[in-house]
Amino acid sequence: MSIKVSTTINDDTVDFVCDESESLLDALRNRIGLTGAKEGCGTGDCGACSVTVDGRLVCSCLVLAAEAEGSKIETIEGMANGNELHPLQRKFIEHAALQCGICTPGFLIAARALLKKNPDPSEEEIRFGLAGNLCRCTGYDKIVRAVQDAAREMRGA
């Protein structure tokens, strides 16, 4: 059976129809055409599907699209301001904090949520804060450095 869902995604009103058992991730990718969030595992372990729902960081693979009715969703597609990249996005490029890039949208969304709660995290806090995001390529060090550098810039330090 299908169900109609009304949401706000990256500040745009988005209404869509989906199956009742469909995940928010599948709806974003296959119905709405927002393919930034990736499916790495589908079981909440890798964080590649990270988005925020009403300000909360979640794995969109573990949310039913139907649950998003009336919610405000933010995805990687809304992170840059037009052509101007978010400081985290810029620092990921500068520090070469990505290789294949499949984990990157999830890391960026999770890192933004982390810095919102804690603008000046220690290395340990960054590693704990991003423990729900897996990367098979970079070995994490460059990601941690990129987040530290972006945090510094965002604090104006």
Partner 1 sequence: MRYEAPETMKAAAQMLAKAKGAAFVLAGGTDLLVKLKSGMIEPDLVIDIKRTKGAYDIKKTATGFAIGAAVSGAQLGEDRVLKKAWPGVVEAANLIGSKQVQGRCTMSGNLCNGSPAADSVPALFAAGAKVALAGPTGKRTIPIEQVPTGPGRTSLRKGEIIEQILLPKRPPKSGDAYLRFIPRTEMDIAVVSAGVNIVLDAKGTVKEARIALGAVAPTVLLVADAAKAIVGTKLDDAALEKLGAACAAACRPIDDKRGTIEFRTKVAAVLARRAAKIAYSRAGGQ
Ligand X SMILES: Cc1cc2nc3c(=O)[nH]c(=O)nc-3n(C[C@H](O)[C@H](O)[C@H](O)COP(=O)(O)OP(=O)(O)OC[C@H]3O[C@@H](n4cnc5c(N)ncnc54)[C@H](O)[C@@H]3O)c2cc1C
Contact 96, 56 (CB under 8 A): no
Instruction: Quote the least distance from Cβ 84 to partner 1, whole Å.
Output: 26
Residues between 98 and 117 that touch ligand FES (CB under 6 A): 98-103
Q: How far is the CB of 44 from ligand X (least distance, A)?
A: 3
In angstroms, the CA 77 to CA 89 distance is 12
For residue 92, give the 3-state DSSP assignment.
helix
Among 6, 12, 21, 44, binds ligand X (CB under 6 A): 44
3-class DSSP assignment, residue 152: helix
Only one of the segments 28-36, 86-94, 95-103, 108-116 lies at the binding site for partner 1 (rule: CB under 8 A); that segment is: 108-116
- Counting contacts by CB under 6 A, is residue 45 touching ligand X? yes
* 122-144 per-residue burial string, b: 16 or more CB within 10 A, e: under 16: eeeebeebbeebbbeebebebbb
Lay out the site mask for ligand FES across 14-53 (x = CB under 6 A, - = otherwise): -------------------------xxxx-xxxxxx----
| Alpha carbons 54 and 153: distance in angstroms, whole number | 26
Q: Which residues bind ligand FES (CB under 6 A)?
A: 39-42, 44-49, 59, 61, 98-103, 135-138
Q: Which residues bind ligand X (CB under 6 A)?
A: 44-45
